[in-house]
Amino acid sequence: MRRRRCGASGSRAITVSSPSASLPALHRPPRHPQAWAWLFALSQIGGLVIGWRFGWHWGLPLILGAQALSFWATLWPQSRLLSPVLTRLPAQGRAVWLTIDDGPSDDTPALLDLLDRHEARACFFVVGERAAARPELVREIVRRGHEIGNHSHSHPEKWFWALPPRAMRVQIAEAQRVLSALAGRPPRWFRAVVGMANPFVAAALKPLGLTRVAWSARGFDAREADPARVVARIARGLRPGAIVLLHEGAPHGRSVAVVAAVLQRLTQDGYRCVLPQDAAASTAASDPARIATTGATAAP
């Protein structure tokens, strides 16, 4: 048993246990990654048939509507239409999941010290190429008790949402290969670049056993350098089980100050920083029925 909390002093310590059998309730890789492709094809063929038989004022809206829906689901990070996505934890009490994207970076050592001081655990969604260039940082993240997540191999932020099937597979699988070797175990979680997951992401996640993770609280800290503004935005999404999105190595150079301010706010509000296995274990122990109805959905 380990005791972890976000605050360094004066905050309520929590007890978390090792990964439990309840984690699979949260960790659900896509089961039917081709389902949307079939539905989409059906909608397009159906639209053509209806347009031909009954007029294009009926067929065209069906064709364009399905395309618009697919586009929206790609751009909306919390959409479950194209693949299951974890948007919050079934945490009991004031617990959140800190997720830190885009490393490893020059900020990583300072962030690890900061997390230690706050007795907090986090998941670092790292980029494969950056991890390969700085393997010692990845090993240090794991050694300090944090988790490694897959955040693509080269972080193509302008085009990730539009990658075709093969390029998408390479981005995710190559990062998984590198991170598995460095971390000593394959990552369980995947975060899409800029959060946008197109219809080909699910097919790439399934064979690797990866579950997509979005967020429920963000402060746009990749661009916003003012810690107070980031904290104010994140505070709006803070509630038990929130998934908090943060970044490291931002061009403005203030990522460590931003994370420090967020941790300070979490401490003030009495929030603990846990990993999904901790939340799953504590929830299962207190309410076995609840965990079955929260977390990732079984959508296609």
Footprint of Zn ion on this chain (CB under 5 A)? 101-102
Nearest-5° angle of CA 278, CA 283, CA 286?
130
Residue 101 bears catalytic tag: yes
Task: Choose, from 101, 102, 221, 278, the residue flagged as catalytic.
Answer: 101
> In the annotation, is 247 catalytic?
yes
Shortest Å, Cβ 264 to Zn ion: 24
Please, what is the minimum distance in Å from the beta carbon of residue 104 to Zn ion?
A: 13
Catalytic residue among 27, 146, 151, 247: 247
State in angstroms the smallest separation of the CB of 221 from Zn ion.
11
Q: Name which of 256 and 299 has its Cβ closer to Zn ion.
A: 256
Instruction: Please name the residues in contact with 213: beta carbons below 8 A apart, sequence gap of 6 or more.
Output: 85, 86, 99, 123, 125, 149, 189, 190, 191, 243
> Cβ of residue 255: shortest distance to Zn ion, in angstroms?
12
Residue 102 CB, shortest distance to Zn ion, in Å, is 4
Q: Between 101 and 119, name the residue whose CB sits nearer to Zn ion.
A: 101
Q: What positions carry a catalytic annotation?
A: 101, 247
